Structure formats: C-alpha cells, structure tokens
Amino acid sequence: MNSVLQNFLDVFREPSVIVGLIALLGLVLQRKSASDTVKGTIKAFVGFLVLAAGAGVVSDALTPFGDMFQHAFGVQGVVPNNEAIVGKVLTDYGSQAALIFFFGMVVNVLLARFTTFKFIYMSGHVALYLAAMIAVILIANGFSSWQAILWGSLAQGLITTMSPALVQPWMRKVTKNDNVALGHTGNFGIATSGLVGRLVGDSSKSTEDLKIPKGLGFLRDTTVVIATSMGIIYLLVTLVAGPGYVERELSDGQWYLLWAVMQAGKFAAGVFIILAGVRVVLAEIIPAFKGISEKLVPNARPALDVPIVFTFAPNAVLIGFLASFVGGLIGMGILVAVGGTIIIPGIVAHFMTGAASGVIGNATGGRRGAILGAMANGLLITFLPLLVLPFLGDVGLQNSTFSDADFGVSGLLIGGSVRIGHAAVIGLVVIALAAVFVSSALVTRRRAVAAATEAEAQPTH
C-alpha cells in the first residue's frame, strides 16, 4: 500500500506531468489526430519542465544569497521555506498527506463541475505542500488518520477551488481575457496586492512604460535590467559579508566579487528560461484545455503556477520581488523590536509571490500598485507564518515553516478551529461548502438577470 501511495505521490507531485496529462486528456476529448495529440502533449510537458528548470536556476542563485544575507547582518530565526518544512512533514505524515492531496483534487474537480467557480488547480507541487500542512495540523491536534483524510480532503478541495477565484478579477486585467487562472499558495497575498493597487495606485502609469534616457537604452531589455539590478544587490551584500565568509562557505574558493556577478547572471538566466517555458505552456495548454472545458467541466479554466503571469509585465516582476523583500525586511524589523520569534525573509518565496504581486498590482494600480501591493504581500508572508507555527506540533519546532500567504490564512482558520474542538473544524468545512454553493447560485442568478436585461435592451426589428 505504501509503495502504491509513493508511486502516486511521485507522479502527481510533478506539475509537468499533471500539465502533460491534462493536455493529453483535452486533445483526446477534442478527437485531435494522433500526431497533434502527441505533439501537444509532449510540448506542454516539456514546456513546463523548461519553466521548472528556470525556477530551479533562480532558486539555486537565491539560496546562497539568503545565507549570505543572514551572515552579513547577523540575523537568526525561522526561515519560511516550503521544501524544507514539507520534507519533515512527509516523513511523518506522508500517507495521510498523499490521500488528502488526491481526494482534494477530486473535490476540486467536482466543485468546478457543479458551481460557477470553474478553476482546475494544476500546480500539483504546492497543492501537495498544502495537503501536508493540513495533515500535520489535524493529526498533531488529535484527529485520527481517517478523520484527517476526510475533512482535510474537503478543506483542500475548497481552498484549491476558491484560491484562484480570489485572484481572477485581477488576472483578467493582466491577461485581457478569462482563459487562464492563477493556481498558487501565494494567491491571498497576490490578491491583496491587486486590492492595494486598486485602492492607492494609478493604472495609467505602468511599470512597462518607464521612461529610460537614451543613454541607458540598454535597460529596455528585461534580461539586462534584471542582471544589472541583481548584480548591484549581490555585490553590496557580498561586500558586507566579506571575502572570507563568501569564499569559505559559498563560492568554493572562487574570487568573491566574481562569484557575486555570476550569481546575479544565473538569476537573470533563470528568469529568461522561465519566460520561455511560460510561452510554450500557454501556447499548448490553453487550446488543449478546451476539450476538458467542452466535455467534462464546461467553461473550466486551468489554474497555473505564478510564472504564468511573468511575461505580461517583466519590469513588474523585478519591482515586485524587490518590494516584497523590502516588506519582509520591514516585518522582520518589527519582530526584532517587539521580541519573540523572528521570521527571516525567505528569498524564493519573496521572488515567486512578490513578482506575481508586482504584476497584479501593476495591472490594478500601475507602478505604485506594483510597489505597495508587493510590499503588502511581503508583510503578509512575514507575519502569517508566525501565526501558524503554534498549530504545527513538533514540526513547528523546526527552524523553518510554510512560507506563502494561503498557508497562513488556511492554517490559521483550520488551526484555530481545531483548538476549539473537532466539531469546530467540521462546522468550518460544512459552512464553507454551503457558502460556495449558495454564492454560486447567487452569481448564476445575477448573470441570468443581467443577460435577460441586456436582451430586453436590444432593439427589435
């Protein structure tokens, strides 16, 4: 049984496999030729691998930067990092997490089929992380395995259905259509960025319209801007950390200034690879998904990982990352001032969710929205992980925790309920399910009334 679960986990924790299978299913349902089906499936699969490879390059460049930053400024504390904390959780609760993950996907598809929230969550890796957090919170606080799987699966399905819905109003502003959604555990912070941008920004002043003097025309190239900006940041922190630490601990003896420049270049290369992968995935998955939308879940939209928005506003990607990181530093400063546990900014989390927050904030509020919206995301992913720590049992004693805003919000709701009692968790899930169906019915009715009103307004011939 454990080997079957492990094989299942290996397959469905890979978002590239999920994207490839979804593309295959969509093309088959459209009765495409064997040649088109094979080509579309493989290109969607490989395209996501290209995207993932770029994310890996970015992560490899950012990880030593985080270590160097901590050393340079003498900061110690808890570092939010999904991969680090999930490794420990899956060791202890792997079977329960795998089953919550699987049945949560089933609930997601059923909710998409029978409600107006037509979002199929396709970011399998972060969905697995979410299932792991739900498993540890429920079991560490007294739920039996079968209870955790039952109620955890329902909670997982609800979160993965409603999280993309939260961002979709802003996504439509980014993509100029309603064909694709955002599926990531940072969606609450990203949606908050969109709201902040709408409230305080000016959408007419986009980050992509920055006026650059003719002598600095080379900065119109996104790759050059990213490499230059990150090069300055890396060099500054490297100089503070000192050559001794960098060459001994990080660069394997390579000259520390050259190492800093190389890391910045690798970061820019990673972003370039991500953008190339996104273009391939979008070109293949959207047409393939029509088969699923037409046959299984009418009007369904794929909810894809955050890099899917990077191509729409490349300048906002860098601005959002830096603004989110500044928000994290401000949050860390507040925690240092008040005492207690310190949350150190997780560089990868701030890049992925901060960049997306910058894109969304720019769509709703221009440059100001990109900066302030992403900064709000940075503050959220500083304080929310701290609030979830008490609900994680022994896992919460590690020097890491879950990093993204959705973990914080859902963990706080589930953890707070479980502390009240098991009945509170069950009540929370049942009420949330009822709310989804009621709100779906209201939206359907409102659309019907709007359509009828529009039809009546049409002139008769």
Average pLDDT, integer, range 170-186:
92
Confidence of residue 12 (pLDDT cuts 50, 70, 90): low
CB 180 within 8 A of CB 171: yes
Whether residue 172 has pLDDT greater than 90: yes
Tell me how far apart the alpha carbons of residues 375 and 164 are, in angstroms, rounded to a whole number.
21
What integer pLDDT is reported at residue 67 of this predicted model?
80
CB 60 within 8 A of CB 266: yes
Length of the chain as a residue count: 461
* Token representation of residue 191: 């949606």
Most confident range (mean pLDDT) of 8-17, 154-163, 224-233 is 154-163
Higher-confidence residue: 380 or 105? 380
What integer pLDDT is reported at residue 9 of this predicted model?
65
Give me the half-sphere count of Cα atoms (radius 13 Å) on the Cβ side of residue 299. 9
- Name residue, tokens 């590239």: 16
Average pLDDT, integer, range 437-459:
80
User: Cβ of 56: how many Cβ atoms within 10 Å?
Assistant: 13
Whether residue 1 has pLDDT greater than 60: no
Tell me how far apart the alpha carbons of residues 106 and 98 are, in angstroms, rounded to a whole number.
13
Average pLDDT, integer, range 227-255:
87
What integer pLDDT is reported at residue 277 of this predicted model?
79
What integer pLDDT is reported at residue 334 of this predicted model?
92
Average pLDDT, integer, range 368-378:
96
Question: Which amino acid makes up residue 161?
Answer: T
What integer pLDDT is reported at residue 123 of this predicted model?
82
Tell me how far apart the alpha carbons of residues 119 and 325 are, in angstroms, rounded to a whole number.
30
Tell me how far apart the alpha carbons of residues 49 and 43 are, in angstroms, rounded to a whole number.
10
CB 188 within 8 A of CB 163: yes
Average pLDDT, integer, range 261-268:
89
pTM: 0.79
Q: Would you say the C-alpha torsion 351, 355, 358, 360 has a positive or negative sign?
A: negative
Residue whose C-alpha is closest to residue 22's, from 44, 3, 49: 44
Domain ranges of the chain: 3-443
Whether residue 412 has pLDDT greater than 80: yes
State residue 17 phi and psi, 5-degree precision: -70, -45
Tell me how far apart the alpha carbons of residues 48 and 380 are, in angstroms, rounded to a whole number.
28
DSSP conformation class of 264: H
The overall average pLDDT reported for the chain is 84
> At CB < 8 A and 24+ separation, what contacts does 433-436 make?
433/154, 433/158, 436/111, 436/115, 436/117, 436/158, 436/161, 436/162
